[in-house]
Structure 1
Amino acid sequence: MTGDFTPDMVALLSADIIISTPEKWDGISRSWHSRSYVMKVGLMILDEIHLLGADRGPILEVIVSRMRYISSQTERSIRFVGLSTALANARDLADWLGVRDDGLFNFKPSVRPVPLEVHIQGYPGKFYCPRMNSMNKPAYAAICTHSPDKPVLIFVSSRRQTRLTALDLIQLAASDEKPTQFLSMADNSLDMILSQVTDSNLRHTLQFGIGLHHAGLNDRDRSLVEELFSNNKIQVLVCTSTLAWGVNLPAHLVIIKGTEYYDGKTKRYVDYVITDILQMMGRAGRPQYDQHGKAVILVHEPKKSFYKKFLYEPFPVESNLREHLHDHINAEIVSSTIGNKEEAIIYLTWTYLYRRL
């Protein structure tokens, strides 16, 4: 179940497994009294549960808290399985989920299917755009050094940066007298593909084996780029950070070009949350092809030591519910889960926020 698709009631009642986004399950489980399939849930698997501290965290926290509350009211036990990156306070999370000591497994960050080699490079410069521009040559050097003939993902903060980065890579490759080193297609195949591309910037960069991927592309262009990259027709894909969450396109080398993005709400550049950085890094290393993956992180020089610490050590997960608590309390009041002050306090005791106070 997603915001775009909800199966009919017959399908839900007869299903043994329901796969849902947190937002969709939040909306459905609010009216749990009248929905038998919600009360019949016996196992809940939560992917990326370390995102509790991120923007979507409050919804994730609320659906777990609600399901635990439902379990206590119906006296039907629900087993919770939380999947996350390595955590510094995994015991706190396990206590909230009702997980016993023998059910808690907290591996080191280095434990992954494909070992990851990480390089962090700092760059000076007070102003964002010149600093991003200064990172293009090191990004090209990283490709030549770490992944000269294997797939490369470059994460940037905006659509504009995808274009500017790709154009600089084309120029740098041309100055090396290898303008099409990232392309693995015959001319006739390339011409046929280019005739299908709508976006003019993408059409230009594809001629040099570099793809663009961002929300401004139409579905057809985006699908075409994903197919070309996954089939090794183009070697480099310059994309915005949303690709780290939405599409499974692993690469041998991941380059994170800058750890800041422009926040339209605050009208300033802010840092990605550490979980976003980890998610981007997680695209490095293809289990079926690579014995190890590589990630190169290009950061503002003053932040280099911060990323060295948190990328090599587990980080703690905190609740982000407090800022949004009024919205969720009101939702529970409307759905009749909360009817008075005492019930509101009882409801709060089921949250992760309560355990972290």
Structure 2
Amino acid sequence: FGHGTIITTHDKLGHYLSLMTRQNPIESQFINSLTDNLNAEISLGTVTNIEEAVKWLSYTYLYVRMSKNPLVYGIPSGFREDDPFLENHRRDHVINAARRLDKAKMIRFEEHTGYMFSTDLGRIASNFYIKYDTVEVINEMLKAAMTEGDILNLVSNAQEFHQIKVREDEMDELERLTSDGCELVVAGGKENTHGKVNILIQSYVSRTSVDSFSLVSDMAYVAQNATRIIRALFEIALKNGNPLLAARLLEMCKMVDKRLWTFENPMRQFSILPHEILTKLEAKKLLPERLREMDSKEIGLMVQHVKMGPVIKKCVHQIPYLILEASIQPITRTVLRVRLEIKPDFKWDDKIHGSTAEPFWIWVEDPDNNHIYHSEYFMLHKKQVLSEEPQNLVFTIPIFEPLPSQYYIKAVSDRWIGSDVTHAVSFQHLILPERHPPHTDLLTLQPLPLAALKDARFESLYTFSHFNPIQTQIFHTLYHNDCNVLLGAPTGSGKTVAAELAIFRVFKEYPKHKAVYIAPLKALVRERMDDWKIRIEQKLGKKVVELTGDVTPDMRAVANADLIVTTPEKWDGISRSWQTRNYVKTVALLVIDEIHLLGDDRGPVLEVIVSRTNFISSHTEKRVRVVGLSTALANARDLADWLGIREMGLFNFRPSVRPVPLEVHVKGFPGQHYCPRMATMNKPTFQAIKTHSPHKPVLV
């Protein structure tokens, strides 16, 4: 079987001898990292509440050892009588861990319901394997404005480096490394762990030689973990919307990766260039931006080496460089759509860039308020660079009044130092949409009784005794006037009754004319037909006809109808031949349900119908009343102007004005891709339903 040799310090010798001779059982150390592991499970979505966490803990080796050897884990020997499966003990551990995570802002723990939700900080900590203790340090030390020295001090205090020991025999070499390799002040000095870590990080970046074998090992460990921690800090700053700190942290990530200080010439990233040439470039302050504008001969003369001119020029054009062009379009006075065109302007080389893609970070920042309003990770593939094919991104950002002078769009390479471009988006000539008038206020009126219809036949169609507040407020306009009306009101507020009031006026005042009801969906047409066939046709004796792609009655039935229920496409086809179809000319009322779908695929058809109706009305000199029904609208005034509706006929109630009160809860989910994001929503959606509305209807 071979031989194994254990080399350890004298103070640990007894421990290993006891393991070899007494054959002590191996106990679980999982309890020490329970907080970090619980955060990982919550971030993944596998654990969403206390009960699931308790069950998850039963799958661990910790649970096996707690059951076998309870005294080691602080469990009294008589636990089997009260808690044979250690559920209460596991629950206590989970709740304590959840409280610690909640205090560190890594999760949100609702103790009264037991639900746990991951935060951006918790997800980043899980993705980058950042310990809970380190997150506490980050919460305490991370500020909005930090220098490179402050950032290195924060990283050096991370719990990941707690096992790094300061040895007496390393002091002289640490002193040498401080003087030779440290460009920044070392906070705390070399006598403690975080000072030693700081020195090793700076010496690693400076490529300072290390003689001590223990320091070589420590430096490799520190460099490997420092990059990971700084990456996590960068994403935290990005999520917090801090552009200056995010840019500085990303530069430091690349600084440690490339072992190159940010104040050094970015051309040092090319190993093909001799040290003497790089020194001359730095002495003459020839940065890549300036070198791009020079020809190879001029570069060769500047570095006093003509043959190196083409080589330097080639390297300059291999640094990933992007050309940004942005166009902006205001959607509302507070939302701006940005179309960003990205053109690659560099030469691809597999030896330099690999064979797949170059990653970039793109964000939009407000320099006045020092805030990032949008950020995303962008991959520029080799094929796109070789074809010089422009890439397009479309996203929306908020805008506030008074208008800022400009926003900045930044594209920063994820791997290359000196590869960043800034594009200014000016708002100097930006014209925002007009301010929308406020919503219609719901007046405190006494509900109208059905007797207000003053027609026993109409009153008999309803089972209620009074109209609701919205119907009461619009009653006079719909039932006693012929003006066009636009009604914007929430779903379930009785808009169908409003349409019926306008239809009853036609039946009462213009009995020889027709009313047309247009619904966007066949299912909605069928629903109205099932209702009105009984209430209007059988009880009132008025003929109701359906006109859809599925049902096409003969022309005589249509001509004799009092109410036509149809779809936009069908009525568009019929009204085109209005000169030869007299029944089209006898239409006195056009009710368009769900008129907010003007902005949808069927919008052009609805526009044509309204325009043609106005055209027919002007030729026949017979006014056609238009009633539009919709949900609450943002630009109701624009739609009303197009429909020819005056102030008297415009009713645009707030979304909150509804017969059944509605509570709105908004919960954000991370991830850009649709399918993974939808998968992460499943459990939280069910929990949200149980939390906010366990016994009442819910709309997700």
TM > 0.5 between the two? no
Q: TM-score, normalised by structure 2?
A: 0.22
Greater radius of gyration (CA): 2
